[in-house]
Chains A and B, each alone.
Chain A
Amino acid sequence: DADVTQTPRNRITKTGKRIMLECSQTKGHDRMYWYRQDPGLGLRLIYYSFDVKDINKGEISDGYSVSRQAQAKFSLSLESAIPNQTALYFCATSDLRKSGNEQFFGPGTRLTVL
């Protein structure tokens, strides 16, 4: 089955550490997204990419950076993690021609910053 995968699934780190979250997809979709989800705040868009090397800031990009070096991969980096970046992070994909605006989500990465 074509899929969206995220690694790691769980990560505990300390304040000030650099963290990278990886997302891979076998759907052949051109668009990829990173969201974070916090209790009571819902899903918020961090960054999105509509093609290789295309990068766009979302609602809450401060403190994060991304890289889209290949169509199938979209990585999210926290250069210097802080406790309020503790959250559940989701990667998603979409493809306007194949499935319109529907987004397909990975299983999530639970990040805890101590």
Chain B
Amino acid sequence: RKEVEQDPGPFNVPEGATVAFNCTYSNSASQSFFWYRQDCRKEPKLLMSVYSSGNEDGRFTAQLNRASQYISLLIRDSKLSDSATYLCVVGGMNSGYSTLTFGKGTMLLVSP
């Protein structure tokens, strides 16, 4: 089983749509969870951290279900500028050190 799994997409949605991405992780001892955004040929940038209680940042809502080892990202009122690849990222311990494991990403294409 892959450590962090995401549907690669692409998800094609019109402007204004609501879209949801899901992610599962295999390491039950994982301690930190993030969504990163990566534009084509650019570096990944943190979109938001994900907390057990769920958290919201404007049009973006992230949820974590530790029991099911499942993370989600909801984007409301999609904008053209939301077109990007969204990386699910899980942090855990590796030989005593904390490292991040990245999913392969889900591509979102928002059209006019």
Contact = CB atoms under 8 A, between A and B. Distances in A.
Interface of A: 33, 35, 40-43, 45, 48, 50, 56, 58, 88, 90, 96, 100-108, 110
B43 A102 contact: no
Interface of B: 8, 31-32, 34, 41-46, 49, 87, 91, 95, 97-100, 102-105
Contacts, number: 48
A42 B95 contact: no
B49 A105 contact: no
Nearest to B104: A42
A48 B104 contact: no
B43 A106 contact: yes
B100 A107 contact: no
Given A45-B99, A48-B97, A105 B44 contact: yes
Given A90-B43, A108-B43, A103 B105 contact: no
B91 A101 contact: yes
B104 A103 contact: no
A110 B95 CA distance: 30
B32 A100 contact: yes
Contact of B105 (A42, A48, A96): A42
B43 A107 contact: yes
Contacts of A106: 43
